[in-house]
Chains A and B, each alone.
Chain A
Amino acid sequence: MSDWRARNHPAWWAFLVHRLSGLLLAAFLPLHFWALAQALRGAERLDGFLRWTEQPVVKLAEVGLVLLLAAHLTGGLRLLMLEFLAWREWQKGLLAAAAGTSLAAALVFALNVV
C-alpha cells in the first residue's frame, strides 16, 4: 500500500510523528555527546561552545528539540497505554492528550527561554 489517501487519519499521523521524532532524536544524540565531550578538553572549549549556543537560532532549535522529546515521550506512553491497558475507545482522546502535552511542554520551554 503506498497511497497517502489511505493513510490520512490521526493515528497514522501519530505513527509518523513518533517515527520521525525518534529518528531525529537518534540523529541528535551524537551531537549531544560531542558537546559534552568538549568539557573533557578543558573549561575554555566548553564555555566557548556554550556561548555559541546563546544565538537565537540555536535557542529556536532547542525549542524544536524539546518538542521532539515531548512528542516521542507522550507518543510512546500513548502506545503503551493503548496496548497494555484494557482496550477502550479512547484512541483519539489519548492522541489529543499526547499532542496537547507535547505542544504545551514546547511552549513552556520557549517562554522560559525568551
Chain B
Amino acid sequence: MTRETEAMTESLSVSVWRGGAVGAFREYSVPRRASQTVLDVVTHIQRRIDPTLAYRFACRVGMCGSCAMTVNGVARWTCRTHVARVAPHGRLEIAPLANLPVIRDLVCDLDVFFEKWQRARGRFEPSAPASTDFARIAPDSGERRAAEAGIECIGCAVCYASCDVVAWNPAYLGPAALNRAWTLMNDARDAAHGARLRAVAGDAGCHACHTQLSCTERCPKGISPTAGIAGLKRMSVRALIRGAL
C-alpha cells in the first residue's frame, strides 16, 4: 500500500464549534486525504455532511485573510494549514477565532477589528496632491525597510485572536491595527504622523502591549507586530521628550 492510499483510508475525528457565543462542539468523521488542509476538512463537512455549517473563506491561497479559525486551540489561517502539521493523531478541534463576537459556527464579526484600524488612523493620508510626481523613496532607507517588514498584513485577525491584552482590555487597538499604524509612520509621503502617534499612544494603544509576542509567534505572514509596537513605543517616548505628544 502506498503512503498516499494509506492516508486516503484513514479518517479524521473533527470537533467543530456549532452555535454562537453559546454553543457546543459537534463531532464529525472526515476522510483523510493527502496534502489536506484544515479548510479542506471544513469544506468537506459543509458540502458532504452538514450544509448548515457556517464558515468563511475566499481565495484559498493565503491572500485574502478570511479563513482564519482556531485549530486545536491555536489561531491559524486554515487554507494554508496542513492537517498533517497540526493533527498528528488524527484529531482536530475547530472553533471560531477568539476575542471576536461569533456570528454563527466558525464565522466571527470582524467589525470591531477593523474599527480599531480606523481608530489607529490606519489610513494613508497624502501630503501632496495626486497630480504631483511620484515620491522618490530610497528602498534601503531605514523607514522604508521598517514599513516593508510590516506591509504584507492580510488582515486575517490571527494576531488579534492570539493576543491576551485584547482579551484583558477590550479597548486595546491590537497588533494588526498598531502594525498598520507603524507602517504609515514610516511612510515619508504620509501627512498625519502627529495625529496618528497621538491616536496610538494612549491607554489602549502601543503602551498597553506586554510584549508576550503571541502575535509574532502566530502571524501566518511572518510579520512581527511586536516589532512595530515597540517602534511606536520608542517613537512616542521620543515625541514626549520633545514635547510633541
| A interface residues with partner B (beta carbon < 8 Å) | 1-7, 9, 11-12, 15, 79, 82-84, 87, 91
Contacts and interface: CB of A to CB of B under 8 A. Distances in A.
Contacts of B87: none
Contacts of A82: 211, 226, 230
Contact of B162 (A1, A2, A4): A1
Which of A12, A87, A91 has the most chain B CB atoms closer than 10 A to its own CB? A87
Interface stretch (B35-43, B68-76, B123-131): B68-76
Given A1-B167, A3-B73, A9 B213 contact: yes
B163 interface: yes
A1 B224 contact: no
A88 to B, nearest CB: 9
Contacts of A15: 210-212
B152 to A, nearest CB: 17
A3 B70 contact: yes
Nearest to A87: B227
Contact of B230 (A7, A11, A87): A87
30 contacts: A1-B98, A1-B161, A1-B162, A1-B163, A2-B98, A2-B167, A3-B70, A3-B74, A5-B73, A5-B74, A6-B70, A6-B74, A7-B214, A9-B214, A11-B211, A11-B216, A11-B217, A12-B212, A15-B211, A15-B212, A79-B211, A82-B230, A83-B230, A83-B234, A84-B230, A84-B234, A84-B237, A87-B224, A87-B230, A87-B231
B180 interface: no
Contacts of B162: 1, 6
A84 B231 CA distance: 8
Given A1-B161, A84-B234, A87-B224, A6 B212 contact: no
A79 B166 CA distance: 19
A15 B163 CA distance: 13
Contacts of B99: 1
Secondary structure of the A side of the interface? Answer: helix
Interface in B74-106: 74-75, 98-99
Contacts of B70: 3, 6
Contacts, number: 64
Q: Which of B166, B167, B216, B217 has the most CB of A within 10 A?
A: B217
Contacts of A91: 213, 216
Interface in B160-195: 161-164, 166-167
Interface in B202-240: 210-214, 216-218, 224, 226-227, 230-231, 233-234, 237
A2 to B, nearest CB: 7
Contacts of B226: 82
Contacts of B213: 9, 11-12, 91
B214 A12 contact: yes
A8 to B, nearest CB: 9
Nearest to B149: A87
A15 B168 CA distance: 15
Contacts of A79: 211
Contact of A5 (B72, B163, B227): B72
Given A1-B161, A6-B74, A79-B211, 14 more contacts: A1-B162, A5-B74, A6-B75, A6-B98, A7-B164, A7-B214, A9-B214, A82-B230, A83-B230, A83-B234, A84-B230, A84-B237, A91-B213, A91-B216
